[in-house]
Amino acid sequence: MKRNNLFALGIALVLCLTGILSGQQQYRLVEWVIDEGGVTATSSNYIANGSFHQTTIGYATGGNYIAWIGFWHPRPRWTSIRDVAALSIIAPVGGVDTGAWVTPVAQLASYSNEEVNFNAVFTIFIAGGVIPIYQNVQWVTLTPGQVRNISFVPVRMTTFGPHVCRCSVALTGDTNPVNDTVSGTCKVMYRFPFPEGWSEAEPVPALPSGRGLKNGSWLTVDESEGVIYLAKANKTQDLYSYNPASTPSWISLPDWPLGRENVKPGKGSKGCSGGDGYIYAIKGNNTLGFWRYHTYFQEWEQLPDVPFGPSHRKVKDGSDMLRVEHNGVTYIYLLKGYKNEFYRYNTVTGQWEELPFAPGTTRWHRGSWLVYDGDHTIYAHKGKYHEFYAFDLSTGAWRTAPLAPMPISSEKMLTRKRAKDGSCATWNFQTIFALKGGNTCEFWRYFPEGDSWVELDTMPSVGSIGNKKRVRDGADIATFVDGIMYATKGNKTLEFWRFTPGPGIVRPQPPRSGVAASKTEISRPLLAVNSPVTGSWLPVAYQLGASRKGELQLIDITGRTVITQNLVADKGQTTLPLKGVNSGVYILRLNTGNDIITRKVIINR
């Protein structure tokens, strides 16, 4: 009887509660989750595979319940996200010497919400090939949101020409396979045994125009290809590429079109590599023409004109341009010249943006130039007037205090001349290298740390054809592979010169008295060694940079490490004992933790 009464009471309670829940009143039942702190459920009527639980009325006692409501609600469940990505190829990129040892590095990331373990595969192909010349697998562990640069087993690059580098990640259950692979390119080049200092390279071709380098001639380096591009300008349409590892070294490319302006490039023409497969250039010659050249398809394309600006003048003398990667966007910065207009071209939006005017009240005369330090500063030197300024990319403004300009007096030439037509500069070894121009052969180096200049060996005035020619209008200079610099004299010549830095450039000594300068430390790691080696010790000059510690390794051609030396202080030089080391070709490797630098060493004892 009691049992029947309890059953009837339960039915009544269910009907009552059902009525309440179906009405307009807001009512919340007190809940006990059976399998989370209560008694273990014994029937599938109450728990469905552990993923739902049932609301109960009263207390659970054993397997009997006073009443239960026949609806279910979800229990919070854990959703696993598994996604890893290959972001970019860090190394090898750009130009690589034939026979050089390189450590492949790729940047990987985890977008998972749990720690993941997976394989990363780095593969290198000869461009156009299907069989890899190198493949290595690394087991990688990443925590949620972590981004890491992963190094792979070093490889000796022995096959000549362009290569494709590819890194792929393989994670079980990866929910987004689209981002699993990334590719990059590099080019393996033969490194000639160039003598230290200035030496003449193969001259610029005379054809098709038959003219020399003069008004508006320029050159730029495409780092991704390891190739120099040169426009002759001087009212010609000639364009060339130069690769010291190719035969022939010079290749004539499609003419620069006349375009909307219907004129050829001349005074004020400048160009720079965009790092995106394009060469960007202004035509000058009293026009606003702005162009880019596709290095792969070998095609010219006309872009939006340079703005007239407040001066209402077109581009003539005193202009320069360069590429800057800033906040993930590639910009082409332009000093318009003549007046002081300063612009940048956004390669993403395809629009020109006006920037604060370049400092000074005098015009930016021919021989003015720009240099970018690769970090956050653009340097601008004003020809003829010797004014020197810095533009801070982080603030988007010119710094108030001017810098020390290039010295007028030359100790080597015993002359006093200003930087004029033909003055040009490039960034190399964390410093600026500049030709003064103005019918001189003076060569200078500027150290930002210390705001000081040092005069270097002059460019030879007499070349292989025997004529005495100095640097004038149409000259330019650019940094190539391993810090080698190439330069033209302009001045109606076809001369093409190379400057190979020696130990004194890689690690400079304190400047001589008489020049406003101070000893400067270079912030990036460097490594220099004389080869071949005939003695029992291997002298090594090095710069650890910001790491302040590193490791030297001497590696034979089989990849075996024969000598290891830890560097705990930036003393600048050390020696490695060669006792028991056989004659042959070796790789000297400096690893600072953040950077790896290699040099080839020939031991002949």
pLDDT tens for 352-373 read 999 999 998 888 989 999 999 9
119 and 16 inside one domain: no
Domain boundary among 74, 100, 118: 74
Instruction: Please give the tally of structural domains in the chain.
Output: 4
Residue 14 pLDDT exceeds 60: no
Choose between 259 and 316: higher pLDDT. Answer: 259
Q: What is the pLDDT, as a whole number, of residue 507?
A: 61
| Rounded CA separation 109/112 (Å) | 9
197 occurs within a structural domain = no
Choose between 516 and 544: higher pLDDT. Answer: 544
Q: Which of 339, 489, 496 is nearest to 422 (CA)?
A: 489
Count other C-beta atoms under 10 Å from residue 43's C-beta.
10
Q: Which of 331, 279, 317 is nearest to 421 (CA)?
A: 317
451-496: per-residue pLDDT in tens?
A: 999 999 999 999 888 889 999 999 999 998 778 999 999 999 999 9
Cα dihedral sign for 382, 386, 387, 389? positive
Q: Please give the structure tokens belonging to residue 285.
A: 């010659």
Q: Please give the structure tokens belonging to residue 305.
A: 């004109």
CATH code for position 103: 2.60.40.10
pTM: 0.59
Choose between 344 and 243: higher pLDDT. Answer: 344
Q: What is the pLDDT, as a whole number, of residue 508?
A: 59
Of all residues in the chain, the percent with pLDDT exceeding 70 is 81
Choose between 247 and 356: higher pLDDT. Answer: 356
Four-CA torsion 19, 24, 27, 33, nearest 10 degrees: 70
203 occurs within a structural domain = no
170 and 223 inside one domain: no
205 occurs within a structural domain = no
* Average pLDDT of the residues of the chain: 83
316 and 451 inside one domain: yes
8 Å CB contact between 107 and 149: yes
8 Å CB contact between 277 and 294: yes
Q: What average pLDDT does range 220-246 have in this prediction? A: 90
Q: Which of 498, 497, 494, 496 is nearest to 234 (CA)?
A: 494
Q: What average pLDDT does range 527-546 have in this prediction? A: 77
| Rounded CA separation 535/519 (Å) | 32
Q: What is the pLDDT, as a whole number, of residue 393?
A: 94
Q: What is the pLDDT, as a whole number, of residue 71?
A: 42
Give the total residue count for the chain: 605
Q: Which of 251, 268, 246 is nearest to 366 (CA)?
A: 268
| Rounded CA separation 153/87 (Å) | 19
Domain boundary among 40, 74, 108: 74
Within a 13 Å sphere around the CA of 455, how many CA atoms are in the beta-carbon half?
20
18 and 165 inside one domain: no
61 and 117 inside one domain: no
| Rounded CA separation 94/92 (Å) | 7
476 occurs within a structural domain = yes
Classify residue 384 as left (phi > 0), alpha (psi -120 to 50) or beta.
Answer: left
Domain boundary among 74, 102, 129: 74
378 occurs within a structural domain = yes
- The CA-atom distances, in angstroms, between 519 and each of 389, 524, 572 are 21, 16, 14
Residue 107 pLDDT exceeds 90: yes
Q: Please give the structure tokens belonging to residue 550.
A: 């590193």
Q: What average pLDDT does range 581-601 have in this prediction? A: 79
Choose between 413 and 344: higher pLDDT. Answer: 344
Q: What is the pLDDT, as a whole number, of residue 66?
A: 43
278 and 185 inside one domain: no
Q: What is the pLDDT, as a whole number, of residue 97?
A: 77
574 and 458 inside one domain: no
Q: What average pLDDT does range 271-299 have in this prediction? A: 94
247 and 299 inside one domain: yes
What is the SS3 assignment for 529? Answer: coil
Strand duo 181-189 + 94-97: pairing? parallel
Count other C-beta atoms under 10 Å from residue 144's C-beta.
12
260 and 340 inside one domain: yes
CATH code for position 496: 2.120.10.80
- Contacts with 5 (C-beta within 8 Å, 6 or more apart), sequence order: none
CATH code for position 574: 2.60.40.1930
200 occurs within a structural domain = no
Highest averaged pLDDT of the listed ranges 412-426, 559-573, 577-591: 412-426
199 occurs within a structural domain = no
180 and 239 inside one domain: no
Of 81-90, 432-441, 456-465, 527-536, minimum mean pLDDT range? 527-536
Q: What is the pLDDT, as a whole number, of residue 47?
A: 43
Q: What average pLDDT does range 372-383 have in this prediction? A: 94
163 occurs within a structural domain = yes
172 and 287 inside one domain: no
376 and 475 inside one domain: yes
Count other C-beta atoms under 10 Å from residue 471's C-beta.
33
Domain with 104, as residue range(s), is 84-189
Of 119-128, 156-165, 202-211, 222-231, minimum mean pLDDT range? 156-165
- Contacts with 274 (C-beta within 8 Å, 6 or more apart), sequence order: 280, 292, 323, 330, 332, 347
